[in-house]
Amino acid sequence: MNKYLILCIDDEREVLESVLTDLTMFEQQFDIEGCESVAEAQTFLTQQLEAGQALALILCDHMMPDIQGVDFLIELNQQACFQPTKKILLTGQAGLEATIEAVNLGGLDCYIAKPWQAGQLQQHVKHHLTQYIIEQEADMMPYAPVLETQTIADAWQQRRLEIAAQS
């Protein structure tokens, strides 16, 4: 088990599969999981949390039968353990108001419109994972090769005195 988890939620099986395929480049350093409903995701997250795995990034569809993606992300953001998690909404249908609300409540880091390009999705995910690792992980260098290497190297260099004081 990796230390960090990437979770994708989409009620359409094929869409979910395609998102997961696009993210395989991160699987060396992150566990990547897919859920077909928010309920399933919640159970899964509780279980992973107990196992000591942190949620680094969540990619969530908006229009789903039980709950809207935006609302779920806002709800997640209100729990301390998921506050640092990078939250991405992947949708073609979210209304402007719902999106604004999500951004204002801190529940949304990024909005990707469907249909998406693999390269664009990967770039957004890479960027937000990089930010997450810099904010959360002291031992960040092992993540540098798969993420934005220069950014992580610079952040590490910035912290060189703290690192020296701690080792």
Partner 1 sequence: MPERSTLLKAIFCTGIPLLILAMPTSWIPLPELTLVQHRIIAIFVMAALLWILEPVPVFATSLLIITLEVVMISDQGWQGFTHTQGNVPLGELLPYQSIFASFSSPIIILFMGGFALAIAASKYELDTNLARVLLKPFGNHIHAVMLGLMLITAVFSMFMSNTATTVMMLAILSPIIATAPQGDLGSKGLVLSIPIAANTGGIATPIGTPPNAIALQYLPEGSVTFLEWMMIGLPFVIIQLAIAWVLLKLLYPAKTARLPLALTGQFLRSPKAYIVYVTFATTILLWLTTQLHGMNAYVVAIIPLAVFTLTGVINKQDLKLINWDVLWLVAGGIAMGMALDASGLAVKIANNIDFASMGTWLVIVSLSLICYMMANFMSNTATANLIMPIAAAVAMTIPAFAGSDTGLTSLLMIVAFSSSLGMILPVSTPPNALAYSTGFIETKDLLKTGLLIGGTGLGLIYLGLWLWF
Total residues binding partner 1 (CB under 8 A):
19
User: Counting contacts by CB under 8 A, is residue 164 touching partner 1?
Assistant: yes
Residue 27 lies near partner 1 (rule: CB under 8 A)? no
- How far apart CA 53 and CA 163 sit, in angstroms, is 24
**Which tokens hold the place of 63?**
């229009």
Residue 152 CB, shortest distance to partner 1, in Å, is 8
Report the residue number, 43 or 150, with the smaller CB distance to partner 1: 150
Q: Which residue has the tokens 């809207």?
A: 68
Minimum Å gap between C-beta 132 and partner 1 is: 18
Binding string to partner 1 for residues 125 to 144, with x set by CB under 8 A, is what?
--------------x-xx-x
**Shortest distance, CB of residue 157 to partner 1, whole angstroms?**
4
147, 132 Cβ separation under 8 angstroms: no
- Residue closer to partner 1, measured from CB, 72 or 143: 143
Amino acid identity of residue 96, one-letter, is L
Among 16, 23, 82, residue whose Cα is nearest residue 55:
82
- For residues 98 and 102, give the distance between their C-alpha atoms in angstroms, rounded to a whole number: 6
Residue entry with tokens 């359409």: 12
Residues that bind partner 1 (CB under 8 A): 139, 141-142, 144-145, 149-150, 153-154, 156-157, 159-165, 167
